[in-house]
Amino acid sequence: MTTRLQLRDTGAMRRTTGLFILLALLCLPWADIAVHTLDPGRELGRLAQGLLWPQWPTTRTLAEAIASTLAFAFQGVALGAIAGFGLALLYRRRAVRWLAASLRAVHELFWALLFIQLFGLSTLAGVLAIAVPYAGIFAKVYGELFEETDPAPRQALPANASRLSSLMFTTLPQAWPNLAAYTRYRLECGIRSSAVLGFIGLPTLGYHLESLLRQGFYAEAAPFFYALLILIATQHRWCRGWMIPALLLAALWWLPPVAPINGALIWQFLTHDIVPAPLRSGMDALPWFMDLWQGQLWPGLINTLVLAMLSLVVMGLLGVMLFPTVSRLFGNRWTRGLSHGVLVILRSLPEYLLAFIALILLGPSMLPAIIALGLHNGAIIAHLIGQYSNTLVLRDDAARGLNRYFFEVLPRQFRLFLAFSLYRFETVIRETAILGMLGIPTLGFFIDSAFAEFRFDRAVMLLVASAILNIGVDGFARRIRRRLHLQQQVQVC
pLDDT digits (tens, 9 = 90+) for 411-466: 888 888 888 888 888 888 888 888 888 888 889 999 999 998 989 999 999 999 99
Domain boundary residue, one of 212, 239, 261: 261
CATH number for position 372: 1.10.3720.10
Find the range with the poorest average confidence among 166-170, 190-194, 360-364: 166-170
Residue 144 domain-assigned?
yes
Do 330 and 254 share a structural domain?
no
Domain boundary residue, one of 261, 288, 321: 261
pLDDT value of residue 430: 85
Domain boundary residue, one of 261, 281, 313: 261
Do 113 and 253 share a structural domain?
yes
pLDDT of 36 higher than 90: no
Q: Return the closest-CA partner of residue 377 out of 402, 338, 350, 396.
A: 350
Q: How confident is the model at residue 489 (pLDDT cuts 50, 70, 90)?
A: very low
Do 354 and 424 share a structural domain?
yes
pLDDT value of residue 195: 93
Q: Return the closest-CA partner of residue 24 out of 316, 461, 355.
A: 316
Section 259-274 average pLDDT: 88
Do 160 and 250 share a structural domain?
yes
φ, ψ for residue 159, nearest 5 deg: -60, -30
- Check: CB of residue 332 under 8 Å from CB of residue 272: no
Contacts of 349 (CB under 8 A, 6+ apart): 192, 228, 229, 232, 376
pLDDT of 225 higher than 90: yes
Do 124 and 187 share a structural domain?
yes
Residues of the domain holding 390: 7-36+272-493
Do 300 and 229 share a structural domain?
no
Residue 45 domain-assigned?
no
Section 145-160 average pLDDT: 76
Calpha distance 166→150 (Å, rounded): 12
pLDDT value of residue 9: 55
Find the range with the poorest average confidence among 70-74, 194-198, 360-364: 360-364
Do 419 and 360 share a structural domain?
yes
Q: How confident is the model at residue 19 (pLDDT cuts 50, 70, 90)?
A: confident
Domain count, the chain: 2
Section 13-25 average pLDDT: 80
φ, ψ for residue 348, nearest 5 deg: -85, -30
Do 288 and 248 share a structural domain?
no
Residue 465 domain-assigned?
yes
Do 281 and 180 share a structural domain?
no
pLDDT of 293 higher than 90: yes
pLDDT of 227 higher than 90: yes
Reported pTM: 0.88
Residue 47 domain-assigned?
no
